[in-house]
Structure 1
């Protein structure tokens, strides 16, 4: 291992029965033949991380009950190539600035999802065995080894696209982009409702309005500051749930696509109430393990109900390009990685507005 790469590193890890990440000193991984070693510049914190740490949550039940490093969003610099990377992925080199698509799909021609370009569904199917930070070693550390195909080049320098934005692109922007563009087909002329204006919802507002060209975007959240952020992100209107239906009726708006970024019964019902006949309700949030609906009520509106999981590597490249072009500007604040437990507590208390990027201590010392 090159002398510039240390032998060990601090990682913040899921330990069964522990309510928060545990800091452990572990070896820096050596990349296999098809992997690259990436020095982490920023790693995102997601509500899914809370689910992993919460006994009884669907995500907690999906991950292995063994110790692994958390974090499924990240951006950094390639510092080492596996022995076959130069020949199989000649465009990658040491020093490249990359965002991390944290899946490990099989990529086999015989795989129905991978052969259709839906690698996100391959990793969803095997969950804990296929996603860094949800079973595989994640980004809440100083280094990570990932398959070379998962290192997606950022089409700009770290000065132009800061590491916090690049890491947010890998889930907080990628998941709503996949939902809006690929699954819902949002386009010019559409009216889009985004319920839940956190990390994903705020990016959804910007994607719908400034990337996909929706005619009208409505943001909805119980928190007044989140509504203000949504207006800054491009929302034409933003309000609390108590005002939503009256406003839609007053303005005679026809909501074509309603996306629930919270995923509770109340927010799902609000989407159903707001959507026009023939419209589309899309569920992204994982706030509840179960959500109920009445089929006849859905049918009498002739609705389409959809869901989605994350997004693909190709879509991540599109999201990064939109950020580099200035069309999308994810809201991100940085915190020391050592404060990950405090950040999670703030998220549990509803005090976090957008995305938080964790920065390793070693990098903080040079800033």
Structure 2
């Protein structure tokens, strides 16, 4: 046993019936067969974290009634290799800078998800770190060696906060746009809601997939400004969307709803062309309704998707390293996670937030001074 595994750490835990994470002192995990121990340098905060903390809410049914460490977005360095990792994953070494893909697919040929490439959907055996099993809102996390993705860059070149955001806030719209909808250069894309996912969606559609036209729509002027900086061709509030489409003679092929409330869903319905696709990624409403005849008369396709795969995350990290994608991320000490969640609930955040373990945050602050 290495010295690191004899230590304790502060972890921010999901406790059934509690509205906020509960800090607990727990042992630093010991990596078991096929696992690595990662020292967390940054861990993202997501609307899903808000959702699962609502007792009786739609997302609360996604997690088991057990205690576990939150955080399904993360980045760090490998601190320890578990048994057999050195031989089965010779490319991984202690000190490697990695992104944490929090999936645990079974990879069995009989699995209806894994056998078709949907490893992001397999929760048969292990669930997802941060949503079912211990996640990255702690100083360390132990997970499968197959679930870490080496970062094609250095800590100085690409900040851990950016890498942590890539594991979900970038991965989710990337999977939706590239894999699920197959957005291409000839398409016009509407991004409804320019928050943590929507802003990255603009970036992906324009710079990775080369979409001909990207329209950003949000109620906040600062979000519209960010969208234009990310490459959007147009950025307007919802009340101006249809006028813009008519005046500029735009034809919306794909409408991505990054909010997921009835008003944004209806706006996508109104804006999409006949034969177009509405893809819902936002989870702010438990249910969304539509008139069947309205969808039929437009011959629409209604889609949704969940997260993304490890291979897609590797593609994203390369795009970030190449300078194609530049996620907007703020950092805060991990001990402020409840305040960050409150800010997210109240719509006060201007960007994705990554939590930095307090000991690291103090060193960063001292360095800046």
Report the TM-score, using the length of structure 2 for normalisation: 0.96
**Residues 3-152 of structure 1 aligned to structure 2 (within 5 Å):** 3-4=3-4, 7-123=7-123, 126=124, 129-152=126-149
Aligned partner of residue 98 in structure 2, secondary structure? strand
Q: Deviations over 1:290-333 (max 9, x none)?
A: 11112221111111111100000000000000000000000001
CA distance in 2, matches of 1:106, 1:340: 31
Q: Deviations over 1:15-37 (max 9, x none)?
A: 12221111110011001111100
Runs in 1 of length 4+ with deviation above 4 angstroms?
none
**In the alignment, what sits opposite 2:367?**
none
**In the alignment, what sits opposite 1:299?**
296
Contact preservation (8 Å) 2:5, 2:29: no
Task: Tell me by how many angstroms 1:5 deviates.
Answer: 5.3
Task: Tell me by how many angstroms 1:361 deviates.
Answer: 1.0
Q: Deviations over 1:200-241 (max 9, x none)?
A: 000000000011101110111111111111111111111111
Aligned partner of residue 365 in structure 1, secondary structure? helix
Aligned partner of residue 167 in structure 1, secondary structure? helix
Aligned partner of residue 206 in structure 1, secondary structure? helix
Task: Tell me by how many angstroms 1:112 deviates.
Answer: 2.4
Q: Give ranges in structure 1 of 5+ residues lacking alignment.
A: none
CA distance in 2, matches of 1:108, 1:17: 34
**1:3–1:282: structure 2 CA closer, same or farther, 3 Å change rule?**
same
Task: Tell me by how many angstroms 1:6 deviates.
Answer: 5.3
Q: How many residues are paired up?
A: 364
Contact preservation (8 Å) 2:175, 2:307: yes
Task: Tell me by how many angstroms 1:70 deviates.
Answer: 0.6
Is 1:186 paired with 2:183?
A: yes
CA distance in 2, matches of 1:230, 1:5: 44
- Does 3-12 or 296-305 show the bigger shift? 3-12
Q: Give ranges in structure 2 of 5+ residues lacking alignment.
A: 365-369
- Does 27-36 or 53-62 show the bigger shift? 53-62
Structural RMSD (CA): 1.2
